[in-house]
Amino acid sequence: MRRVLTAGAVVAAVVAVPLTPIASAAAPYKGANTAAVQDDFNGDGYRDLVVGAPYAANGKVEGAGAVVVLYGSASTVSATHRTVLTQATAGIPGDPEEYDRFGTAVAGADLDRDGYADLIVSAPDEGVGGKSARGSVTVVWGGPKGLSGGTTIAPPKGYGDGRTYCRFGMSLATGDMNGDGAPELSVGSSCEGAAYSGPFTRTGQASGVERLQDIGETRGVVMGDVDGDGMAERFWMAGPTDGDLRGPVRYDDGGSGSGVELPYADGHAGQIGDVNGDGYGDLVTGISEDDYLANETGAAHRGGEIQVLYGGPHGITADQRPKVFHQDTAGVPGTAENGDEFGQSLSVGDANGDGYADVLVGSPGEAVGTHKLAGTAVLLRGSASGLTTAKAAGYTQDTAYVPGAVETGDQFGAAVHLADLDRDGKAETVVGAPTENSDGCVWVARGSAAGPVAKGSFNVCGKSAGIGVYNVKGYFGAATTSAHVEL
């Protein structure tokens, strides 16, 4: 039996670092979920940064939620070159209501194959049809002027029959599973999984819809190519269950049914990228809930952990045992302590341009000095031998040149992201601190051959980026298109 999550135990995971080459945007093409198209919403050739603020206010409507897209450029992102989206934005379906939490999970893919990335946004606590926290998923369409107009992705027929608190959109993932150039969309919830085949029409109609009752709750879902065939595989993650607090992982290669369980794999959220540079995607998962947070034994290593499963010509096989990293692993910055939440967020990308994907891990529950829940982010390097602790680095708001100050409860690391926003071949490092001040902030550091450059790095905070705050903190920086889990 699966553990039942309360309405307040909100979860989201967003995924996929594709491995296929960039193709022309002039016509539908294979690989529409390539890195450039997946989050380039205005087609200028620069990847864009999506930041969720799920508790942002709309006027005096608290907790309605918002999403801010900061457009990439040769000088990276800024608070001024942006689009702010809420359910009050013209063309966006729905209405802003208290605690809908629009922006809890975000993802990107070219769903209609017009050459521009489209933005997918969930509001898992939205009431629908008189049912509380039924949840909704919205697509906002990309184009030459950026994002505008949107439609709702409807749940499959019969979805969540007899259930109320389904929280449709708890997790989102995109990837092209059949090689036709039209990305598929996977949606998790606390009821059951839903899978949509592309391409999508501008009215939100998918080419096919599948209701996956047998997999039940899906705290996380990940899509990416782990066997090198140019098509994505899918991994469903239920989150902690009564029989498995570390969280079962199911491997789905696009065949019938919901795939097979990987007996040695664990995870609540994850992302795929090529950590060892062999041309096959590797699955990195996070399990941030330790025994202290679960109030039970059998959860993650003290303070949380991440796991790595390496792809190959046969994908990820059932007999593979993951490589595990935590803050008691030699070379990992910090010390494992109860409730650190190491692995609550993670991102996979090449921070130094050496051809190996690195892994950025958020630990928002980490204490810094006497400041509890101040948070930290740790960068682990990829290499030919896989993920390594060599040259690992930790960042807090007490690190030289990182703006801001260490304060209790900032939760620096609640969301993290690695993406090349200025097209220099090295990913920027982005770290969210959603409870910094009343609005929340993200820290942005440019990449270099040595990794993230703290000197000259900067914060973008919610109010300066256009969100509203009323009564509760806005939580700008709580979500990016990389993976995170809210406990």
* Polymer length of the chain: 487
Contact by Cβ (8 Å): 349, 47: no
The pLDDT assigned to 259 comes to 78
Helix (H) / strand (E) containing 36 = helix 35-38
* Burial of 237 per CB tally in 10 Å (0-12, 13-18, 19+): buried
The pLDDT assigned to 255 comes to 64
Mean pLDDT of 229-243: 93
pTM of structure: 0.93
Euclidean distance between CA atoms 81 and 88, whole angstroms: 20
116: tokens are: 């521009």
Q: What percent of the chain has pLDDT over 90?
A: 84
Higher pLDDT, 4 or 364: 364
**Is 192 a residue whose pLDDT tops 80?**
yes
**Is 88 a residue whose pLDDT tops 80?**
yes
**Is 344 a residue whose pLDDT tops 60?**
yes
The pLDDT assigned to 33 comes to 55
Euclidean distance between CA atoms 198 and 183, whole angstroms: 5
**Is 8 a residue whose pLDDT tops 90?**
no
Mean pLDDT of 85-99: 96
Share the mean pLDDT of the chain.
91
Say which DSSP state 155 is in.
Answer: P
Specify the range with the lowest mean pLDDT, choosing from 188-192, 298-302, 440-444.
188-192
The pLDDT assigned to 201 comes to 95
Mean pLDDT of 278-291: 97
The pLDDT assigned to 257 comes to 60
Euclidean distance between CA atoms 305 and 296, whole angstroms: 16
CB-based contacts of 8, cutoff 8 Å, min separation 6: none
The pLDDT assigned to 465 comes to 98
> Cα 70 to the chain's mean position, in Å?
16
359: tokens are: 């892994």
**Is 26 a residue whose pLDDT tops 50?**
no
The pLDDT assigned to 302 comes to 98
398: tokens are: 């007490």
**Is 138 a residue whose pLDDT tops 90?**
yes
CB-based contacts of 160, cutoff 8 Å, min separation 6: 134, 166, 168, 189, 191, 192
| Secondary structure E strands in 277-414 | 282-287, 305-309, 323-326, 345-349, 358-363, 376-381, 388-395
Please name the amino acid found at residue 371.
Answer: H
The pLDDT assigned to 10 comes to 33
Say which DSSP state 214 is in.
Answer: G
The pLDDT assigned to 253 comes to 80
Q: What percent of the chain has pLDDT over 70?
A: 91
